[in-house]
């Protein structure tokens, strides 16, 4: 694994984890169950990974 690949993976995984964490925090004051919260957070994490991978990888490789 190249250095740029590792940096890319850290960036898009970190952003996706942050988005999932923000989703959990945003739903704490509601009456959703924990299954709903963590299921939604998982969904947000997966979607962010799908969206960010093809965007972040080329941007990091250009540098």
Could you give the number of structural domains in the chain?
A: 1
49, 16 contact by CB (below 8 A): yes
Residues 3-15: pLDDT tens digits? Answer: 889 999 999 999 9
At 63 the pLDDT is 82
Quote the mean pLDDT of the chain: 94
- Residue 19: the pLDDT is 98
pLDDT digits (tens, 9 = 90+) for 15-34: 999 999 999 999 999 999 99
3-state SS of the chain is CCHHHHHHHHHHHHHHHHHHHHHHHHCCCCCCCHHHHHHHHHHHHHHHHHHHHHHHHHHHHHC
> Domain containing 44: what range?
3-62
């Amino acid at each position: 694994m190249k250095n740029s690949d590792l940096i890319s993976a850290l960036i898009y995984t970190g952003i996706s984890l942050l988005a999932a964490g923000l989703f959990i925090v945003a739903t704490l004051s509601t009456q959703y169950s924990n299954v709903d919260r963590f299921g939604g957070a998982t969904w947000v994490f997966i979607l962010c990974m799908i969206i960010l991978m093809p965007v972040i990888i080329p941007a990091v490789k250009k540098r």
